[in-house]
Chain A
Amino acid sequence: MKIEVMDGGLLTMLQDMGRIGYQKFGVLANGAMDTFSLRLANLLTGNALGEAALEMPLRGPVLRLQAGTVFAITGADMMPTIDGAPVPMFRPVCMARDAELRFGGCRRGCRSYMAVAGGFDVPLVMGSKSTYLRAGLGGWQGRALRAGDMLPAGTMSGAARDFARRMQSRAGEAAFMTVPWFVRGGIVLDTAPLRVTRGLQYDWFTTESCEAFCREPFQITMQSDRMGYRLLGPHLELKKPREMVSEPVAFGTVQVADGNPILLLADRQTTGGYPKIFQLALADLPRVGQCPVGHKIRFELISLCAAEDIYRRQQEYINELAVSIRLKLCEG
């Protein structure tokens, strides 16, 4: 099965759960900005949770899909259509004949994910299929998709194959078939605050600054990308000027340089020399991945244990979905 790229869209790239184990060599983790939507898309297509999928920010690609291709679209609503007919999101879809999948404007969120049953048959680079754009490595030839690319899909699971067979036998004249059930995306771009825990250098900052961070809105500026979001809001002051030596950082670390916070994300460098005031709760990282430039974020401080409880509940939800979806894929 091949996926032909007619138009690459804005910056469509293959991402999985990231490159793990190589940060000690200075190699970035990369990976999907919204790992929740990535995993949902994989479950819906019978793939392993961490298989690579297409991450499509803001302006999606135009893809020519072959009959028998099973795919699922999650994350941001970018109004996917095939031959003018809307393609439902958050459920598995099977192509009944060759046709083009297009996307419209971005209606909610800012990153759409598309998994294909069988995943993408691209080489693993240091254990991952994520794209490392700066180094030109991994994913699809180390770069974003462009017109003319032919991406090979991997072998789909038995459940997906049975599903495809059932869908195709009922298709009739339609270009694609889908099911009358869906999962809930879970990540909604709402106004609820994003939760943070105390950072390693939290007590270097004044009480007023820490309180302001958890009270005032911060806007995601234009100088934001997969490496990090530069936030605009109240200045964050140190109690006294201090230098620090470079230390490793994590996905969701909030560093403060010159009073301005930077939220470090998927393409962050492995180390940083700026004080770390807060850490974004792991469970809320996918929501951040759906916040576009210009969006105003509010934060809320919670304890480390509370953050872990929330994360655990999110993983349990995914595990439960895995079972329900598997049953549905098998039985129709």
Chain B
Amino acid sequence: MTNHKNQALAARVLPLGEAAALVSFGTKISPAVHRAVRAFAAGLSQHPFRGMTEYVEAYTSVTVFYDPMTLCGEKLLNPAPDVPYSFQVAELYIGKLLQGSELTTEMMPRHVRIPVCYGGKYGPDLAAVAQYHKMSEKEVVAAHTGGDYLVYMIGFAPGFPYVGGLPPRLATPRRKSPRLVIPKGSVGIAGMQTGVYPIETPGGWQLIGRTPLELFRPDNGENPSLLQAGDRLEFYAISEQEYMDYMAEGSVPVQ
């Protein structure tokens, strides 16, 4: 583990087993830390090192996965103690990349608008959420669509976004008993988090609506996930008819 402090990015590098390294930019979620995560991820994607297999962005860190045999291939032929192990080699590459990454590099965030049909059979918990906050359903929808959202990371399920920015007055505890099946596209709230279920899974979120957008496209080899870390999101309300039209035609109503 080393600390890399420099003009560009400050991070700690720690091993996650023999085949991965966590590059940590802080312990608290903040816009500055998020920018560092994005800058470093951009650097990795532009300058991958030999033996690196993939990387995953998280709230305050980036985990870099690698093949130890490629990284420390030299040790196969020469097991001398001063020949480095793969974590040491990875650290070297990561250190160089941290020095080269510019915090000020403007990675233009994408703005993605998510159409949602709120309430009714698509949002079975909207009434419960409204009641919990002593608001009307309309007010809940207005607050949800009025939020300014940021995708911090994709994880948990394919295409599933960890979204920050839910207005605090909408924070609702998870359901006491999780549902066995949550339909694909469901938009929900759990605690301070809001998000969209890209595939059918069990879960305990409060479901307030559903989107016809496909968040997970397995046939798209380049980008199987519609959303990516760094995206700015906006939810907007659509009618049930518009929702059904989309599902029938496969096109998103423009607003």
Residues of A within 8 A of B (CB): 20-28, 125-127, 134-135, 137, 197, 200, 245-253, 269-271, 276, 279-282, 304-305, 307-309, 311-312, 315-316
Closest 5 CB pairs of A and B: A271-B155, A25-B225, A279-B17, A248-B63, A248-B56
14 pairs, CB–CB < 8 Å, chain A vs chain B: A22-B224, A24-B229, A26-B154, A26-B155, A27-B158, A27-B218, A126-B224, A135-B218, A200-B14, A248-B20, A250-B17, A271-B56, A312-B68, A312-B75
Complex CA distance for A23 and B52, rounded to whole angstroms: 13
Q: Is the CB of B156 within 8 A of A126?
A: no
B87 lies within 8 A of chain A by Cβ:
yes
Please tell me if the beta carbons of B56 and A304 are within 8 angstroms of each other in the complex: no
The answer to whether B18 touches A304 (Cβ under 8 A) is yes
Q: From B156, which residue of chain A is reached at the shortest CB distance?
A: A269
Which B residues contact A (CB, under 8 angstroms)?
14-20, 22, 29, 53-61, 63, 65, 68-69, 72, 75-76, 79, 85-87, 153-160, 162, 198-199, 201, 216, 218, 221, 223-225, 228-229
Bound-state Cα–Cα, A206 to B67, Å: 32
Distance of A276 Cα from B100 Cα, bound (Å): 30
The winner among A20, A200, A251 for most chain B CB atoms within 10 A is: A200
Question: Would B54 and A22 count as touching, CB distance under 8 A?
Answer: yes
Q: How many angstroms between the C-alpha atoms of A281 and B160 in the bound complex?
A: 29
Q: Is the CB of B18 within 8 A of A197?
A: yes
Inter-subunit contact B68/A246 (CB<8 Å) = no
Residues from chain A with a CB closer than 8 A to the CB of B198 are 26
Instruction: Give the chain B neighbours of A309 by CB distance below 8 A.
Output: 79
- CB–CB A246/B155 < 8 A: yes
Query: Which of A23, A135, A308 is B72 in contact with, Cβ under 8 Å?
Result: A308
Distance, CA A121 to CA B85, complexed state (A): 38
Q: B93 to nearest A CB, angstroms?
A: 17
Residues of B within 8 A of A307 (CB): 17-18
Q: Contact at B221–A126, with CB atoms within 8 Å?
A: yes
A25–B158 CB distance below 8 A: yes
- Say whether B18 contacts A28, CB under 8 Å: no
A26 and B159: CB pair below 8 A? yes
Q: Is the CB of A246 within 8 A of B75?
A: no
Q: Which residues of A contact B65 (CB under 8 A)?
A: 23, 250
Contact of A23 among B22, B54, B201, B223 (CB under 8 A): B54
Complex Cα–Cα for A28 and B54 (A):
13
A250 touches B19 (CB 8 A): yes
Q: Known interface pairs A248-B63, A253-B16. Does A21 touch B53 (Cβ–Cβ under 8 Å)?
A: yes
Instruction: Apart from A25-B159, A270-B56, A312-B69, list 5 A-B contacts with CB within 8 A.
Output: A23-B65, A135-B199, A135-B218, A246-B162, A316-B76
- Contact, CB under 8 Å: A252 / B17: yes
Task: List residues of chain A with CB within 8 A of the CB of B225.
Answer: 24-27
A247 touches B61 (CB 8 A): yes
User: Could you tell me the distance between the alpha carbons of A316 and B15 in the complex, rounded to whole angstroms?
Assistant: 23
- Bound-state CA distance A21–B56 (Å) is 9
Question: Given A245-B59, A270-B156, A200 and B16 touching (CB < 8 A)?
Answer: yes
Contact call A24/B54, Cβ cutoff below 8 A: yes
Also in contact, A279 and B16, with CB within 8 A (given A126-B224, A245-B60, A247-B61): yes
**Neighbouring B residues of A282 by C-beta, 8 Å:** 17-19, 68
Assembly CA distance A276 to B17 (angstroms)? 11
Contact in complex: A311, B68 (CB < 8 Å):
yes
